[in-house]
A and B are shown apart, each in its own frame.
Chain A
Amino acid sequence: MTVPALLRRGLLAGLLAGLFAGLFGLAAAEPTIGAAIRLEGEHAHAHTAGGEPAEQEVFSRGVQQFGLVVATTVTGGSLGLLFGLVYAGVYARDRRKRPWRQALALAAAGFVGVFLLPFLKYPANPPGVGDPATVNQRTAAWLMAIVLGVLGVGLAWWARRRLAEQGRPEPVQHLAMAAIVVAALAGIWLLPANTDPIEVPAHLLWQFRLLSVATQLVLWGGLGAVFGLLGERALRPAPADGAA
């Protein structure tokens, strides 16, 4: 399998997975986002009573809901391209060719490294939380957490492979992986805390964060599944009369 072919497969799988994630977000999370935005509006109104009028929105809620699906689809496509490239690197010498299992394993690693480990330190917040003045520091810390998460999962993956090649038993391989992931998590924990006040009700915050995890599960699960299915299909011998 050539690199450009794997990139095409990754792009297609990522766009589809991002679309699924966006439609899931539209159906499941938009009510929670809408509730948070209404609270944000009331809050701003209470603070500027008698003062300037509330800030004019650039886009209507409908456009922003469409933007949600566009954002997840573009994000999915981008992650899919990177996924295809990493897949090419990780499985380049693998002669066993089990695309379904390999794609799901890599998607699980991506979910943990790119999303879950950073999320444990910097969980997603609904609209209305976050001081615009701190967005650059928060962004830098979040990107650093992603770098550490990807590094940790990558090292764990590499260590398991090395130990397996040396004939070490599975418990040793898996415990080494766990130790490396925990070390990465400890590194992420040392990053500066997000000090922005959270003024939304706890149940809304909890619901939003669960929905954020669920959206990422749809995204990474969809990416692994579609990529794996495309890989399985590519393994089948082409039908003699089939058009190219």
Chain B
Amino acid sequence: MSAHVLKNPAVLAGTLAVLAALFALFATLLDQGQLLTPVLGKAAQTANYLHEFTHDGRHLLGAPCH
């Protein structure tokens, strides 16, 4: 994709929206410690903060859980 195409406001907004949506969906439904590992190191994997915080929601929305 060239920079020219991204200057189109519709294409730019759509691309940003898809990236933001996929990132947020990953964080709430799929993350197993990966997102916080750069900040917290190994503790992020063992404590699995995002997963534990959204645990009930993941189960109820049908996402695979532990």
Does B14 contact A135, Cβ atoms closer than 8 Å?
A: no
**Nearest-Cβ distance from residue A194 to partner chain B, whole angstroms:** 8
Does A75 contact B17, Cβ atoms closer than 8 Å?
A: no
Does A4 contact B55, Cβ atoms closer than 8 Å?
A: no
**How large, as a class, is the contact surface on chain B?**
20 to 34
Residue tally, chain A, CB below 8 Å to B: 53
Does A65 contact B53, Cβ atoms closer than 8 Å?
A: no
Contacts of B53 in A (CB 8 A): 59, 63-64, 67, 70-71
Does B52 contact A75, Cβ atoms closer than 8 Å?
A: no
The yes or no answer to A2 lying at the interface (CB within 8 A) is yes
Q: When chains A and B are docked, how far (Å) is the Cα of A22 from the Cα of B14?
A: 27
Among residues of A, the one whose C-beta sits closest to the C-beta of B53 is A67
Among residues of B, the one whose C-beta sits closest to the C-beta of A56 is B47
In chain A between 1 and 32, which residues have their CB closer than 8 angstroms to a CB of chain B? 2-4, 7, 22, 25, 29-30
Among residues of A, the one whose C-beta sits closest to the C-beta of B51 is A58
Chain A interface residues (CB < 8 Å from chain B): 2-4, 7, 22, 25, 29-30, 33, 57-59, 63-65, 67-72, 74-75, 77-79, 81-82, 84-85, 88, 115, 118-119, 122-127, 130-132, 135, 138-139, 142, 208, 211-212, 215-216, 219
- Contacts A78-B25, A135-B64 aside, 5 further interface pairs with beta carbons under 8 A come to A64-B52, A70-B28, A78-B28, A211-B60, A216-B61
Chain B interface residues (CB < 8 Å from chain A): 9-10, 13-14, 17-18, 20-22, 24-25, 27-30, 32, 47-49, 52-66
